[in-house]
Amino acid sequence: MCGIVGYLGKRQAAPVLIDGLYQLEYRGYDSVGIAVSDGKKLKIIKKIGRVKEIETARDEIGRVGIGHTRWATHGDVTVENAHPHTCRNITLVHNGIVENAAKLKSECEKRGERFASDTDSEVIAHLIAAEYQGDLLDAVIRACNQIVGSYAIAVLCEDEPARLVCARMRSPLIVGRAKDGLVVASDIPAVAEEGAVLYSLKDGEFAVLEGEKIVICNASRAEVRKEPMEFDLEEGRVDLGPYRHFMRKEIDQIPIVLRQSREEIERNFCFSDFCKVLCQTEYIQIVACGTAYHSGLCFQAALERVCRIPAEVFIASEYRYMDPIVRRGTLLIAISQSGETADTLAAVRLAKRKGAHVAAIVNVKYSSLARLADTVLFTQAGREVAVAATKSFNAQLMVVYSIVAAMASIRGKKSPSLRGIEGKALRAIAAGEGVRSWVPYFAGAKSSYFIGRGEDMCAALEGSLKLKEISYLPSEGYAAGELKHGTLALIEPYTPVVAVLMRRDIAEKTMNAVHEAYSRGASVFLVTCFEEYCGRKEITASVLLPKCPPVFSPILSVIPLQLLAYYTSVARGNNPDKPRNLAKSVTVE
Ligand code: AGP
């Protein structure tokens, strides 16, 4: 996934583009580039690495420009593959994937055209240049008609230096007025400012920015009227404050996020409507990716244990290719922090086509998922900058557990309470600081294992993913009872194993797995609310958490695991906020 920006106005474009790209680095940071035009010539500066690499371009002269920060999908991380891409009089930046790029590229090459990069994005520049007959918008429309896949593009043409043309298909794109001029961006934070008037393009829409005018139209050039987006200026802007990394700050925000989530749920009438819809539902399917998928597992466990309602959880990228059975009355619940994850959006579109009613639990208000779903519940995590999801996961759990508690009472069943969970989260963070002594066992380990049973396994899966994605250490989350069926063969002396144990009725069973690992030499670490297990001979070190209803316990037991991943990542010299190869929202398949 990548981030694109554009500007056309009274100010010099370069600083506006560069400042906007800083706000989009969470979308990718393999390479970066801008193109700036002074009306006569167009200058392109592009480098490998983060936005700061093009600070030297800040003084470039020109009032029209486009910029791009890249997460590599097609083509290696090289300067040639960095955007912007040019073909003859056309220069563009692109976010998305051209699925028929190989076919289109070979047609261009048969016409004798040569390519400077291995990217699918450059193919779009060639298509537009080939279609250009004096009207840039026409050329863009005709070129887009040939593309299969997703795109958000901003295009400049040397023959029309005062115009900027954009197009959107399944990758987010915003246009509007701000900063004494007209702006284009993949996301609000790049252009949010007091008084800005922003519009979100829909799939198949185009925009022409010229002078002080923005014209939005469809592929037949029929103008499209739009209401401006509402946005929370502060939400768009975040700063580190006294923290070294956003991830550590965002873990500390978990208690306030849980409190705000509770307050929002208590005042939000659609929450109770949402729960009523769920109670009338015969079949519940949950789809998500990554950390959100782990939220789905926690949701399913609680729905079935508390409400005795069956639910199925699917990895979204699997769901969309398994020809899923969507029976009449099926409710599909999509969980997503960004609301832009391509696999989750595709699964939702498929379920809708098959007749499902779609509900979304999403953090980003103006996201594609929020627009696509029939019913939406927003988590209150605020903007999450670190690529590794932390507070957004806890916020998702607060929402799904609140739904479970509400549904239980609608169905006349007794539900455990989430009362006081915010304060317990605060204590979990304080207790979780103890994992700093565990880091030496993990930082040098060639593999690690996170185990648990039931809900504890859900937390273990999430803890393992956190460690992998920011410390780059191999790790596996595992059902504790499953270890002896094969994976135990991998346990060697000093292999670090984390056991999550928040349920008394199966505690001894989990301790059996702990003993199996310990007797093979593993260093076992415990996350539990039962003090009596902390002193067991098998335990190298433990974190003692406040007690909470076992079915809701991942909301707390994940916190020490988030901290363990963070401190291990820092110990290994990584930037936990921007892990290699990853992006905050994966808008490509
Ligand atoms: C979580 O730490 C990862 N960054 C990743 O697994 C993420 O949860 C996944 O890509 C889903 O993203 P979404 O919640 O925005 O859909």
The answer to whether the CB of 390 is under 6 A from ligand 1 is no
Q: What residue's CA is closest to ligand 1, atom 16? A: 336
Ligand 1 centroid–CA 154 distance in Å is 26
The strand order across the sheet containing 539-544 reads: 475-479, 448-452, 496-501, 523-528, 539-544
CA-proximal residue: ligand 1, atom 5 (nearest)? 290
Q: What totals of helices (H) and strands (E) does the chain contain, helices first?
A: 19, 23
Q: Distance from CA of residue 276 to its chain's centroid?
A: 29
The secondary structure of the chain in percent helix, strand, coil, rounded to multiples of 5, reads: 40, 25, 35
List the domains of the chain with CATH numbers.
3-236 (3.60.20.10), 240-419 (3.40.50.10490), 429-574 (3.40.50.10490)
Residues 284 and 357: their CA atoms lie apart, in Å, by 10
Residue tagged 């707390």 (tokens): 556
Fill in the DSSP letter of residue 171: S
Three-state SS string across 143-163, please?
HHCCCCECEEEEEEECCCCCE
Contact 469, 495 (CB under 8 A): no
- Confirm if 462 and 291 have CB atoms less than 8 A apart: yes
* Per-residue pLDDT tens digits of the chain, which is 589 residues long: 689 999 999 999 999 999 999 888 877 778 999 999 999 999 999 999 889 999 999 999 999 999 999 877 777 889 999 999 999 999 999 998 898 999 999 999 999 999 999 999 999 999 999 999 999 999 999 999 999 988 999 999 999 999 999 999 988 899 999 979 999 999 888 888 888 999 999 999 999 999 999 999 999 999 999 989 877 666 556 667 678 899 999 999 999 899 888 888 888 767 887 888 788 888 999 999 999 999 999 999 999 999 988 999 999 999 999 999 999 889 999 999 999 999 999 999 999 999 999 999 999 988 899 989 998 999 999 889 999 999 999 999 999 999 999 999 888 888 899 999 998 998 999 999 999 999 999 998 999 999 999 999 999 999 999 999 999 999 999 999 999 999 999 999 999 999 999 999 999 999 999 999 999 999 999 999 999 999 999 999 999 999 999 999 999 999 999 999 999 999 999 999 999 988 888 877 7
- Residue ranges of alpha helices (H) inside 134-219 are 136-144
CA of 293 to the centre of ligand 1 (A): 8
User: Which strands sit side by side in the sheet containing 64-70, from one edge to the other?
Assistant: 42-48, 31-37, 64-70, 3-9, 181-185, 174-178, 197-200
Probe residue for ligand 1, chosen from 294, 313, 341, 392 as the CB with the greatest number of ligand atoms within 8 Å: 341
Residues 489-521 as b/e (b if ≥16 CB within 10 A, e otherwise) read: eebeeebbbbbbbbbeebbeebbebbebbbeee
Task: Please identify, by atom number, the ligand 1 atom nearest to the C-alpha of residue 289.
Answer: 11
Residue nearest atom 7 of ligand 1, based on CA coordinates: 290
The residue written with tokens 């580039």 in the block is 33
Question: What is the whole-number distance in angstroms between the Cα of residue 389 and the centre of ligand 1?
Answer: 6
pTM (2 d.p.): 0.75
Indicate the SS3 state at residue 339.
coil
CB 158 within 8 A of CB 206: no
